Structure 1
Amino acid sequence: MIRKTRPPRAGGAPGKRGAGPAVRAARPAHSGAAEEKLGKIAGLSAVAAVFRHEPERVVRLYYDDSMKTAAGPFCAVLARLRRPYRLLPPEEMARVAGTVLHGGIVAAVRPREVPDLTLETAQRWAKAGAATVLLDGVGNPHNLGAIARTLAFFGLGHLVLSDHPAQAGLSDAAYRVAEGGLEFLDVRRLTGAAQALRSLRPHFHVVGTALHARGIPPEAVPRDRRPILLVLGNEENGLPPPTLAACETVVTIPGGGQIQSLNVSATAAILTYSLLLRQAER
């Protein structure tokens, strides 16, 4: 559900939350037993993005011989912050990264905060005309990363993750596939998608996606003064029925081949280009 923020209670201690909505965020990992909570951001584009936007999140940097030159500016930043960086052989890089798909460079980072989406924040986005994407049950972190990369590529800035039990979060795999795209997005959490979408409809044109020709084609979506909130669901089953019912407009990308549906990240790319950018260019 979307909750309104409220001012802090009188007499509350400075810096503490008042009666407003809870912000669910992972606490930073510092040292000792908390070290295992550090995330891993792999690949030059993703590492460069985190150094550009939040270098203070980087706790350590690892790189192999192929990345010595590229890693130089990052090492200089860490030196100023008095944080370590190491040149590692290939086998150790794979162990540190947890995958062989590390691109020769890995940053160990403190987890990023993902606050709740409040009604006030959503209204601010809508007033600015900011098209937004909500993922409700997209469980594959590679798809989440690919969607984030698409949004960043097209210059969109907002991504919302529902509390669906299958919904993927900001994992190492999502960061790797996003190629730095997640660093350019304001990412929020949404509790109770179906109920929340109904409260957002005065501010956004809520457009859901459906499989098996249950919706209209993208070009038939009516023009609207409100920005679009595009809702994408589970890779296999689509949106949960209550979420789909809360959408004002339902779209289906028509196909003429033998495969019944597109991957959700491909659907996101097509609809971002055909719907969200079309609206932004009005």
Structure 2
Amino acid sequence: MDRVIGRRAVMEVLRSGREINKILILKNSKLNDILKIAREKKISVSKVEKKTLDRYGEKHQGVIAFVSPKKYKKFEDLRFSENTFFVILDRIKDPGNFGAIIRSCEFFNIDAVIIPRKGSAKLTETVWKRSAGALEYIDIVLVENLSKTIERLKEKNIWIIGADSEGETCFEKDLTGPVALILGEEQRGIRKILKEKCDLLIKIPGRGNIESLNVSTAAGILIYEILRQRIEEKNTQKRNR
């Protein structure tokens, strides 16, 4: 049984329709929206003291839901089209960053997030909370080997783009078409074996003294730029008709 902690995360899991075993709510808290939906869905709700919720961590915001585990998807579950957009995470171990990236991916309607079985953060309650409930609406694909997965994606005509500090400026490259964007951990970046398989390496040009961005921030910027170029390309095609 997984735990979903925090008001927004619990609200999203309620809306998603996933099986919820029970909800613990702080006594005298004003969480009427959550209570209303829980009652409509006939979900067991217990009003408890703060010390009971604190057993599961202090940042619970007065509510915790116990839910059926979210199931990982397989490579075979992926769907491909001319607008395919996957995000691949290489050794992103920090659950806070993982959750924040998932939130951005869901916001921009990315098709799936692909992670390796080893060396990656898993779907913990911290990830749930940092994703602000977005984890409910996006597929997380768990694979054994990222290198082989990239090769399989290339066979499907997916363009592999890696985020790297030595790459070319993202705003100056054509990033349209079906793509998979690879993001590596902040300290070491994408592994060399994966970098060598990329069709293109890109970076976000900075203007200040700091050399790099947090990986979750960089993810949001790069995802937006790829989608912006797609929209611009479509608008150009319409004008030329």
TM-score by length of 2: 0.88
Letter in 2 for 1:256: R
Partner of 2:25: 63
Q: Secondary structure at the match of 2:75?
A: coil
Decide whether the 8 Å contact of 1:228 with 1:276 is kept in 2.
no
Question: Can you list the C-alpha shifts for 1:46-104, whole angstroms capped at 9, x where unaligned?
Answer: 11211122332x1110111224412322331453xxx5321112222121xx2211122
Check if 1:93 corresponds to 2:53: yes
Partner of 2:63: 105
Decide whether the 8 Å contact of 1:157 with 1:184 is kept in 2.
no
Change (3 A) 1:43 1:239: same
Gaps of 5+ in 2: 235-241
Separation in 1, partners of 2:107, 2:225: 14
Question: Can you list the C-alpha shifts for 1:98-132, whole angstroms capped at 9, x where unaligned?
Answer: 221112211011211102212xx44x33x151311
Mapping for residues 29-178 of structure 1, pairs under 5 Å: 38-56=1-19, 58-64=20-26, 65-77=28-40, 79=42, 84-95=44-55, 98-118=56-76, 121-122=77-78, 124-125=79-80, 127=81, 129-163=83-117, 165-178=118-131
Separation in 2, partners of 1:261, 1:273: 18
Separation in 2, partners of 1:108, 1:210: 39
Gaps of 5+ in 1: 1-37
Letter in 2 for 1:155: N
Equivalent residue for 1:220, pick from 149, 169, 172: 172
Partner of 1:204: 158
Query: Cα offset for 1:261?
Result: 1.4
Question: Can you list the C-alpha shifts for 1:231-250, whole angstroms capped at 9, x where unaligned?
Answer: 11112110111111111000
Partner of 2:238: none
Q: CA RMSD in A?
A: 1.8
Q: Secondary structure at the match of 2:151?
A: helix
Partner of 2:237: none
Q: Secondary structure at the match of 1:278?
A: helix
Separation in 2, partners of 1:85, 1:107: 9
Decide whether the 8 Å contact of 1:67 with 1:104 is kept in 2.
no
Decide whether the 8 Å contact of 2:73 with 2:139 is kept in 1.
no
Q: Which runs of 4+ in 1 moved over 4 A?
A: none
Change (3 A) 1:60 1:184: same
Q: How many residues align?
A: 231
Decide whether the 8 Å contact of 1:132 with 1:228 is kept in 2.
yes
Check if 1:192 corresponds to 2:145: yes
Q: Secondary structure at the match of 1:86?
A: strand
Q: Secondary structure at the match of 1:274?
A: helix
Percent identical across equivalent pairs? 25
TM-score by length of 1: 0.76
Between Structure 1 and Structure 2, which shows a larger proportion of strand residues? 2
